[in-house]
Amino acid sequence: MTSPFDLYTGSTGAFDEFIVNSNAQDENWLGLAKSIENLGLSELKRRAIEVEQTQSARGITFTVGGLERTFPLDPLPRIISYDEWNKVELGLVQRIAALEAFLDDIYGSQEIVRDKVIPKRVVANATQFSRSAAFPLMEYQMRITVAGLDLIRDEKGELVVLEDNLRTPSGVSYVIENRRAMARILPELFENYEIEPVTDYPSRLLASLISQAPPQVSDPLVVVLTPGVYNSAYFEHAFLARQMGVPLVEPRDLFAKGNEIFVRTTKSSKRVDVIYRRIDDEYIDPVFFRPDSYLGVPGLVNAVRAGGVTIANAVGNGVADDKLTYAYVDEIIDYYLHQKPILKNIETYRLEDPDVRAFVIKNVDNLVVKPVDASGGKGIIIGSQATERELEEVKVAISSNPRGFIAQRIVNFSTIPTVVGNNIEPRHADLRPFIVSSPDGRYVVPGGLSRVALEAGSMIVNSSQGGGSKDTWIIKGRSRPRVTTSFAQSETASQSQITEVKESAQ
């Protein structure tokens, strides 16, 4: 019997996670390949289709241009070893701790600017720097309750940070739903592997939110704030509210009165203590931000400032996930924690230096240019894939607004075997781990959301642009096969089937 992996050769230039690990005789990856061989690709696909139908029936979707789509789940999981993950986890916690300190400082006494570690203009000119949020928090509050960083594995196989998302990162619901789906697609593997569970997330998040309630409140009311049913991530908002057992509210359900926030219920109104908000800063309070926003809750920012309510994440976090701030994260870690960064950044060009700018403009076709304040992959120009006209436009844009962009080396990030048609082919994938912070400590979801570009050679993994996802397994070890199983395996196939039937009949 030939294995569907026999013809799999990986990709040129990029680090292929299967090829490298199976060559190194990694038993987890080899075990996966063996299982797929036993199962057969067509059976694997049949199970995957069945699961996709269930997901679609349950409304596990996201919205693009008014249409609801499922987020295609590739039935081959990604495996990351426990040892590597331990290091990544430390790196993530370190990075978030430093960025939290940075935000506190920036919206406080700005010592990092005074010590000239970061030029004042980098902070002051950031479009996401929010003067209205420039007040110190209460000591029980966090600025970055939820972070979702984007990591990629570079050509040498090392996981490096591509972006910090500290505003309203989404995707964690798919991590949990994917794990559920995989248990139905590959139940055989779940028996043999000890996979770190991801289902703790909602309770960890709830615990963090409750711990940030104003201290005088004994039984705090936590809510999830969504822009509404037409938001692309509405499924996730409803999912989290249900999993945490808290109300899902829209802005029109809330109102401010005397620096406190209330929710309209069928029995008068109730005071809200903590708001996990999934609305961007710009729309959250028409008093401070966009006056044309129907989405906002007028008076919310004042209530936060007065300590009447806690919102997570805090207002103004965008200054810390600004792409130019990204270029200073190593310095930030060193300044606040006196540590060496555990996770590396991608080499980034700061365009304010005229020499660097000239270099970037000259070599723009071999670089990636990114606007500093956008999220979700908007406005990114990949030099090697851009048209002449796009390149000309980006050169002009860089020259006229150097603060608005950064440039980075094009990373040929890693590929993972993915089911495409009737074959298994290499596809590029990134990784978004989620970190929940509370005053008592930090929790990292083991693994995270692996997003995979479904087109050959494509490096665009965004769900809105045809990306899929993979379940990410952090495997602690391989549990020893159960005695009955190994006994059955030594028999002939038909006998082992009989044994199974007997077992299930009991």
CA distance 51 to 185: 7
CA distance 180 to 200: 13
- Give the binding range for another protein (CB under 8 A) out of 53-61, 169-177, 318-326, 406-414: 53-61
| Lookup result for tokens 């936060």 | 304
Residues near another protein (CB under 8 A), total: 31
CA distance 245 to 210: 13
CA distance 333 to 341: 6
**Cis peptide, bond prior to residue 313, ω within 30 of zero:** yes
CA distance 299 to 315: 14
Strands (E), 88-197: 146-148, 150-153, 159-163, 193-195
Cβ–Cβ under 8 Å, residues 54 and 159: no
x/- map, 94-133, another protein, by CB under 8 A? ----------------------------------------
Q: Position 402: which residue type?
A: P
- From the CB of 272, what's the least distance to another protein, in Å? 11
Per-residue CA distances from 275 to 101, 216, 221, 241, 281 (Å): 22, 17, 9, 11, 13
Per-residue CA distances from 235 to 70, 248, 417, 436, 447 (Å): 11, 11, 28, 20, 21
**Between 67 and 493, CB nearer to another protein:** 67
- From the CB of 298, what's the least distance to another protein, in Å? 8
Coil, helix or strand at residue 16 = strand
**Between 239 and 326, CB nearer to another protein:** 239
**Between 271 and 409, CB nearer to another protein:** 271
Residue 253 touches another protein, criterion: CB under 8 A: yes
- Give the binding range for another protein (CB under 8 A) out of 251-259, 335-343, 386-394, 484-492: 251-259
Residue 271 touches another protein, criterion: CB under 8 A: no
**Between 101 and 238, CB nearer to another protein:** 238
| 480-499 residues near another protein, rule: CB under 8 A | none
Q: Among 114, 184, 257, 378, which residue sits at the site for another protein (rule: CB under 8 A)?
A: 257
- Dihedral sign for Cα atoms in the order 130, 134, 136, 138: negative
| 189-248 residues near another protein, rule: CB under 8 A | 221, 228-229, 234, 238, 241-242, 245-248
Burial of 55 (0-12, 13-18, 19+ CB in 10 A): buried
**Between 87 and 252, CB nearer to another protein:** 252
**Between 101 and 263, CB nearer to another protein:** 263
Q: Among 93, 183, 263, 420, which residue sits at the site for another protein (rule: CB under 8 A)?
A: 263
Q: Among 58, 120, 362, 378, which residue sits at the site for another protein (rule: CB under 8 A)?
A: 58
- From the CB of 395, what's the least distance to another protein, in Å? 46
**Between 62 and 328, CB nearer to another protein:** 62
| 423-462 residues near another protein, rule: CB under 8 A | none
> Two tokens at 395?
């050169």
**Between 60 and 454, CB nearer to another protein:** 60
**Between 218 and 387, CB nearer to another protein:** 218
| Residues with Cβ within 8 Å of residue 13, at least 6 apart in sequence | 155, 412
| Residues with Cβ within 8 Å of residue 208, at least 6 apart in sequence | 142, 145, 312, 436, 437, 438, 443
Q: Among 266, 490, 492, 504, which residue sits at the site for another protein (rule: CB under 8 A)?
A: 266
Q: Among 252, 362, 378, 478, which residue sits at the site for another protein (rule: CB under 8 A)?
A: 252
Residue 59 touches another protein, criterion: CB under 8 A: yes
> Two tokens at 218?
């004994």
Which residues bind to another protein, rule: CB under 8 A? 56-59, 221, 228-229, 234, 238, 241-242, 245-250, 252-253, 255, 257, 262-270, 298
